[in-house]
Structure 1
Amino acid sequence: MKAIRRFTVRPLLPEPLRPLSDLSRNLRWSWHAETRDLFQSVDPERWALCDGDPVRLLGSVRPARLAELAEDRRFLRRLAAAADDLHDYRTGDRWYQEQPASAGLPAAIAYFSPEFGVTAALPQYSGGLGILAGDHLKAASDLGVPLIGVGLLYRHGYFRQTLSREGWQQEHYPVLDPNELPVTLLREDDGAPARVSLALPGGKRLHARVWLAQVGRVPLLMLDSDVEENDLGERGVTDRLYGGGSEHRLLQEMLLGIGGVRAVRTYCRLTGHARPEVFHTNEGHAGFLGLERIAELADEGLDFDAALEAVRAGTVFTTHTPVPAGIDRFDRALVARHFGPDAELPRMDVDRILRLGMETYPGGEPNLFNMAVMGLRLAQRANGVSLLHGHVSREMFSGLWPGFDPDEVPITSVTNGVHAPTWVAPEVLRLGARQIGAERAEDALSVGGSERWDAVADIPDQDIWELRRDLREQLVVEVRERLRASWRQRGAGTAELGWIDGVLDPDVLTIGFARRVPSYKRLTLMLRDRDRLKDLLLHPERPIQIVVAGKAHPADDGGKRLVQELVRFTDDPRVRHRIVFLPDYGMAMAQKLYPGCDIWLNNPLRPLEACGTSGMKAALNGCLNLSVLDGWWDEWFQPDFGWAIPTADGAGTDPDHRDDVEAAALYDLLEQRITPRFYERGQAGLPDRWIEMVRRTLGLLGPKVLAGRMVREYVERLYTPAAHAHRTMAPDTARELARWKQQVRASWHAVRVDHVETSVATTTAELGTALALRVRVGLGDLTPDDVEVQAVSGRVDEEDRITDASTVPLKPTGGPDLEGRWVYEGPLSLDRTGPFGYTVRILPSHRLLASGAELGLVEVPSEEAAEGAGVLLR
């Protein structure tokens, strides 16, 4: 019989145990071992049944046990210590508060993301983007950065994955009751739930409540449309992550961006939290936040162009995709229907909104609205998530800055990091604490600092090897439990599953491969030569074993076929004790998988991995990486840390041939270099060379891959400059900049380079020679204050393209003449040998521009103007 209404009945905690409620509602417990240990001691058996979720634990523990604990003086002392520690953590000064006032750090930053992977107890993530966002919040909390997270609360999360008997992925969407999650409702002063709403076409409204998840010091606001005021369709807007059709996704992204800004304003009003000076858009999904902020400024008297400049100054946009297909794009007519007089932001010109998302570059689709393009146009600062991804992003979006080489496109990079206290196994942390002390070990994981990590060099080989074997053994136990549960879901009876007790061996080299399953990640590359893989798995002296996990998107049948292909291979009785596929990959599984593996495998199509942080998490546990040189591995790979899989990514390479070549390279590495090193033993009976690689991975790579390092880079390189720009952009300043840009755009057609002269007439010159450049330019209605004339020089390739350009500004020395031309002069030093070239160009220039490329305007010499200029020197 089905209940007609559902309630959540919570126990009344005895007064001495009331701090347990606060501890359970602050998600710091998800990365703070002492707090988790405290909750486990409440009821160890029930703690395991609740999957380590304190809220579920307190909702199910017996009243008699609570009464017993209320009288337990030792437990109450531990509880008081944990509560005091959380209070100190939340209120004490940390890295951010210790920075000098002269640094001008932002008062607050709002961080928007469509998903957040903070803990398995709050399943609001699908993969790397969400886990990265969760790690960003946790690292910001550890550093004391005044961040406010903004997302959606999905009633079904992403999906739970099981397998059919035939190995086909099946999706399940369990309902999540917010009252049973570690979140609380944001309430008005009178106790009523705080609400935000959006106008919809046809006079309807989309209402949402705001739930608050406290992530250490950082509040995470999550909007939920499943409220009684909404019609059935609107209630389902936040039903599931990345579900539904185009209009459904558009409404989710409008609620996240526009509703999210309104939720932040409400939260700051109710709590007194500082209003954000900087807004960070984590991928394009939240891009509409810029429109809401423009509308706010319009209400204060700014026109659209001035408001746009003010909004851009304080906005940071991070792109995570290396391929155009990964970007959300909507039909322009659909977007137009949801804005304007009859819908949301009624006082804003719909054509201006649509222009923000137009793909105005060669190959662009004129009838589509591109969320990443809008994100870039609404942000003065943008970044990719690894050094290589920054390069890929500049290439991919270079059409938005015509006339500029990709290297000059204003998209930088901040390489992702991972939150070590979340991902490092307790056993690894205890070994570090034994070496340098618990407090210093905790600081090394959260704050970083290579001097703390140097202590890894002093840990005895025996201790490292015993730790690695212990973690491997724990993984074997975990895999067998999960595999048995999976086979039961597939319909197998207990009598069929005796073989699972022999799956994996704690003394065999263990390889992990776990991630989402789009085609470019090549889940099945390892199956390219199945006989060769079987030989590796079953080698009599140097066997390997592989643990694989991953989810395909529910609409991706191609990805599901890859999963099924791998599952069918792992079902083979000849190899199933050496290779397994575990369904329902998520945070809880990952926290066991990373520490227990010796090798972390990653074989995407280069350069389609934006960053690939799973290998970072593995490395922090002493697991070595075996990866294609893509994402972060391209940036930090050294032979000390693991192995690089050679790639066959030439422009004309056939995809099948490429996969054959790269799979063969993978097998070669395993056969010839990796397994011999793992199994060879030194005089003490230990794999000395392997242990040294583990030591170097921990000591040298560890400090680099921390989310604390990543967040400090965001603060120093992006958030603080954005805050300074925001403060500079007062209303009159914003109007001035907007007027200046309009004038420059309107006058740029008349800007030209008329003539270039140089003091060297030959095509050869000696190193160290200084050329005198003289350039005549026409500026039309502009003046030298509006532009910068530059000499651009450097080595040239076979096609006379400048490949390592450096720029020198030239100075006006005369003009305007009767024809309105100006003369610019300056020296050009020949500081490199070999083929050398130069050109000149004119760029817009203003004190408030973050980059000379910002307007996408540049003028270079025509062929006629360049004649006789000595353009190439050899």
Structure 2
Amino acid sequence: MKALRRLTIRAALPAELAKLGEIVENLRWSWHPDSLDLLESVDPDLWQQSGHDPNRMLGEVSAERLGQLSRERKFLRRLEDVHDDLTDYLTQPRWYQQLADSPSSIAYFSPEFGITEVLPQYSGGLGILAGDHLKAASDLGVPIIGVGLLYGAGYFRQSLSRDGWQLEHYPPLDPQGLPIQALHAADGSPSRVALPLPDSRTLHAQIWVAKVGRVPLLLLDSDVEENDNAARQITDRLYGGGAEHRLEQELLLGIGGVRAIRAYCEVTGTPAPQVFHTNEGHAGFLGIERIREIVDGYQLTFDEALQAVRAGTVFTTHTPVPAGIDRFSRDLVARHLAGMPGLPTERILELGAEEDPTIFNMAHMGLRLGQRANGVSRLHGEVSREMFAGLWPGFDSAEVPIGSITNGVHAPTWMAREALEIAEREAGSIAVGQGDGFQAVDQVSDGELWRLRNELRERLVDEVRRRVHNSSLQRGMSEAELGWTASVFDPDVLTIGFARRVPSYKRLTLMLRDPDRLRALLLDPERPVQIVIAGKSHPADDGGKQLIAQMVRFADDPAVRHRITFLPDYDIGMARYLYWGVDVWLNNPLRPLEACGTSGMKAALNGALNLSIRDGWWDEWFDGENGWAIPTADGVSDPDRRDDIEAGALYDLVEKSVAPRFYDRDSSGVPTRWVQMVRHTLKSLGPKVLASRMVTDYVQQLYAPAAVSSAQMVADHFAAARELAAWRRKVLDAWPGVRVLYVDSQLDGDAQLGGRLTLRAEVALNGLSSEDVEVQAVYGAADTDDRLSDISTVRLKPIEHPDGTCWFEGELPLERTGAFGYTVRVLPSHANLATPAELAVVAVA
């Protein structure tokens, strides 16, 4: 008989062990070595059986064992030390507390958070990044409040059929058995949010709180008794269901998330956020809820409230392709917004408008609601500016107001303990601050670095053998035919890792373009290679599942199965072994379709070398000595030919560069040139790839400026927001009549380098004043079609003219030789604009 529901019942902790419960309640244990050691010592066997889940372990440990621990003085001393360390971590000032005029609170919204494998609320890179963002914020003392959804079955667990087809399993998650606590109102009742659904229905959601160090993570759960059956299923699975199901998840995340923050701040006394960060478009409706709050609470108009909301909103885009953006039927969105009183549905729909009038685009809404926006690597910033350039007509893509902050990874989570201990032995903590301590790797000998790499590779091989054996049993093989699994992989062989989600653009099977050549690399008698592969395909993506099946069929061949394997159920727990143990991290997406790709960063922190297409972060940080760049065939339009060319380049690099360097040993057996590259990788990439660097960049470049703008907008009963909204209306109404009427230029001498060109421009302002605009001379190199590149600008100053016309004047420096061109343009200008392109209007001569 199958249970209708399940729950986790724990033994009551003795009073002497009460602090153990406090340690377990805070997810800092998941990246804190002393906490992990303490938890393992409670019951080493149960710790392993529970998958290193302390809640599950404490749910199964016997009362006798707990009683024994409560009398063990050595354990109690360790417990006291770990608890004291946690208390100091949570209460002592850190980097952020030394800053002046910084936001008192920041809200960070994401549809998924990858904190630890025991809280399976993530599917891939977006969630892992969000988790690392919260952890680094906690380490730095940044007062972030995370907001997401609690999915009843998480993403999915992956296994393989006998023929290698991906199978999905959705084990139900018991919130009582997860490292989260229900939020309760002041009267002791469960704290819940509610929002309207179509057909006069109401969606209710419970607020759960996960403690991520100093950062609270609020998770909304619709599986509550007040909801009808359909509403209870809204938070059933991450990225599950159809369009309406997904829309209702995103309405709950955005609108419900803001309401959850208000409830949490009221209960705990936490300052209300000044800045709201939307991690991808999924949470975009948070801006609509904040507009509603201001309209209802302060009697502002929609436009006035919009200016106040925009000032304090940061939007981060993570996708380099339009297909990765959430797009809904405009009618479906309108039907769901109709129940929100006081807000004009048509105005909200305008925020998500795109070229297709029937579609509501979540990324477009995110960009229109956020005064500051960024991509997640330098190349991705360029791609994003091109992809969204249509929202700023008349501007070159380079001027589209989307910047970039390159992602980072949380070192204490992803570095092997042995690597972290060496780093901290030589330089102290590298997790907080800018990671300058990586320079101390020069004090570590070649022999010690190589011993570390060998130990980590051996550990990975043991884990591969364990997982291959278990996966084979799951696929229906018998124990009697699995003797070979005890010797798969070799701890002395060059090991390449490839693990990620399996959309087509990441090209899981590029290495299979020439199977014979791959076999030759794997089985080379002098310089063999072994490859460990993992990744999940979206349950609805049969194309991705076919790629996995193709890879599994190749790896099942008895001739090569000891050198290549596909490990199912890729998660944080598996990922650590891969990042720790591989010698080379392989990444071969279709350039430039990967936004950042942080997996290679995690491998680099452990001394692995990257072998990658120059996409995402690798495009900006590859320097020729920290790995290898796979040449790309960017100009080839035939996708099959492009794959053949790039696969051939991959085989050549492995055969002629990577493997020879790995196996070239000195008299003591150390590959000195390889170790030099490892050392250089740690020194050059270590400081850059840290999530602490990333969060510091967000604070300084986006959060602090957004907080200043927000404070300006709300001061004096939103006086600046009201004024800015009126100014915008005036400018946009007048803009069709704004134009450059005439441009006159005079050279100061000959057109020679170092000379100057004086410009005078007559401009029709259609009722605007010279203070409402910025008139610029734009100049640069001119091609044969008179297109400008490498442009610079000079602001022209208004000058008096006797007949009342509007003239502007300035000088251009002649700073370059060759073809030179210039033009004049008019832009809106206001002190509270973050960029002159903000209104998306320009008049060009």
Q: What TM-score do you get using the length of structure 2 for normalisation?
A: 0.99
Q: Which moved more, 1:789-798 or 1:611-620?
A: 789-798
Q: Which residue identity does 2:287 align to in structure 1?
A: G
Q: Mark the CA change 1:605 to 1:816 in structure 2 (over 3 Å): closer, same or farther.
A: farther
State the match for 1:865 in structure 2: none
CA distance in 2, matches of 1:816, 1:205: 66
CA contact (8 A) 2:423 2:430 kept: no
State the match for 1:685 in structure 2: 669
Q: Which residue identity does 1:33 align to in structure 2?
A: P
Deviation track 1:693-725 (CA, whole Å, cap 9, x = no partner) reads 011111121110000000000000000000000
CA distance in 2, matches of 1:160, 1:496: 25
Match of 1:712 among 696, 705, 712: 696
Deviation track 1:471-526 (CA, whole Å, cap 9, x = no partner) reads 01000100011111111110000011111112000000000000000000000000
Q: Which residue identity does 2:799 align to in structure 1?
A: T
Q: Which moved more, 1:695-704 or 1:596-605?
A: 695-704
Aligned runs of 1:213-228 on 2, under 5 Å? 213-228=210-225
Determine whether 1:315 maps to 2:313.
yes
**Structure 2: tracts of 5 or more residues without a match:** none
Determine whether 1:485 maps to 2:470.
yes
How far does residue 200 in structure 1 lie from its aligned partner after superposition? Answer: 1.1
State the match for 1:598 in structure 2: 583
How far does residue 3 in structure 1 lie from its aligned partner after superposition? Answer: 3.6
CA contact (8 A) 1:150 1:220 kept: yes
Determine whether 1:843 maps to 2:833.
no
CA distance in 1, matches of 2:807, 2:141: 53
Deviation track 1:714-752 (CA, whole Å, cap 9, x = no partner) reads 000000000000000031110110011001111011111
State the match for 1:864 in structure 2: none
CA contact (8 A) 1:116 1:125 kept: yes
Match of 1:544 among 529, 532, 536: 529
Determine whether 1:328 maps to 2:326.
yes
CA distance in 1, matches of 2:822, 2:41: 72
CA distance in 2, matches of 1:83, 1:187: 25
State the match for 2:34 in structure 1: 34
SS at 2:498 equivalent? strand
State the match for 2:404 in structure 1: 413
Determine whether 1:668 maps to 2:652.
yes
CA distance in 2, matches of 1:133, 1:754: 50
Q: Which residue identity does 2:627 align to in structure 1?
A: G
Deviation track 1:63-107 (CA, whole Å, cap 9, x = no partner) reads 1110000000110010011111101000000000012x2xx1101
State the match for 2:564 in structure 1: 579
Q: Which residue identity does 1:852 align to in structure 2?
A: P
How far does residue 811 in structure 1 lie from its aligned partner after superposition? Answer: 0.6
CA distance in 2, matches of 1:663, 1:404: 38
SS at 2:790 equivalent? coil
SS at 1:853 equivalent? coil
CA contact (8 A) 1:419 1:446 kept: no
**Structure 1: tracts of 5 or more residues without a match:** 862-874
SS at 2:789 equivalent? coil
Deviation track 1:331-366 (CA, whole Å, cap 9, x = no partner) reads 0000000112xx2x221111001000001xxxx211
How far does residue 292 in structure 1 lie from its aligned partner after superposition? Answer: 0.2
Q: Which residue identity does 1:809 align to in structure 2?
A: R
CA contact (8 A) 1:356 1:377 kept: yes
CA distance in 2, matches of 1:851, 1:680: 54
How far does residue 776 in structure 1 lie from its aligned partner after superposition? Answer: 0.8
CA distance in 2, matches of 1:547, 1:295: 51
How far does residue 761 in structure 1 lie from its aligned partner after superposition? Answer: 10
State the match for 1:135 in structure 2: 132
How far does residue 330 in structure 1 lie from its aligned partner after superposition? Answer: 0.3
State the match for 1:44 in structure 2: 44
State the match for 2:803 in structure 1: 817
Aligned runs of 1:515-530 on 2, under 5 Å? 515-530=500-515
How far does residue 10 in structure 1 lie from its aligned partner after superposition? Answer: 1.8
Determine whether 1:352 maps to 2:347.
yes
CA distance in 1, matches of 2:802, 2:606: 67
Structure 1 ranges of 4+ moved more than 4 A:
none
Aligned runs of 1:235-384 on 2, under 5 Å? 235-299=232-296, 300-340=298-338, 343=339, 345-359=340-354, 364-384=355-375
How far does residue 445 in structure 1 lie from its aligned partner after superposition? Answer: 2.4
Aligned runs of 1:585-734 on 2, under 5 Å? 585-650=570-635, 652-730=636-714, 731-734=718-721
State the match for 2:380 in structure 1: 389
CA distance in 1, matches of 2:5, 2:316: 42
Superposition CA RMSD, Å: 1.1
CA distance in 2, matches of 1:757, 1:572: 76
Q: What TM-score do you get using the length of structure 1 for normalisation?
A: 0.95
Determine whether 1:738 maps to 2:725.
yes
Deviation track 1:12-32 (CA, whole Å, cap 9, x = no partner) reads 111000111110010000100
Q: Which moved more, 1:423-432 or 1:262-271?
A: 423-432
CA contact (8 A) 2:424 2:430 kept: no
Question: Percent identical across equivalent pairs?
Answer: 64
How far does residue 685 in structure 1 lie from its aligned partner after superposition? Answer: 2.7
State the match for 1:53 in structure 2: 53
SS at 1:810 equivalent? strand
CA distance in 2, matches of 1:638, 1:486: 39
CA contact (8 A) 1:321 1:610 kept: yes
State the match for 1:857 in structure 2: 841
Determine whether 1:402 maps to 2:393.
yes
CA contact (8 A) 2:94 2:139 kept: yes
SS at 1:448 equivalent? coil
Determine whether 1:124 maps to 2:121.
yes
How far does residue 545 in structure 1 lie from its aligned partner after superposition? Answer: 0.2
CA distance in 2, matches of 1:839, 1:696: 46
Q: Mark the CA change 1:6 to 1:547 in structure 2 (over 3 Å): closer, same or farther.
A: closer
SS at 2:577 equivalent? helix
Determine whether 1:769 maps to 2:755.
yes
Deviation track 1:101-129 (CA, whole Å, cap 9, x = no partner) reads 2xx11010000000000000000000000
Determine whether 1:795 maps to 2:795.
no
How far does residue 831 in structure 1 lie from its aligned partner after superposition? Answer: 0.8
SS at 2:278 equivalent? strand
CA contact (8 A) 1:816 1:822 kept: no
CA distance in 2, matches of 1:557, 1:4: 31
CA distance in 1, matches of 2:95, 2:425: 25
Q: Mark the CA change 1:113 to 1:157 in structure 2 (over 3 Å): closer, same or farther.
A: same
CA contact (8 A) 2:377 2:404 kept: yes
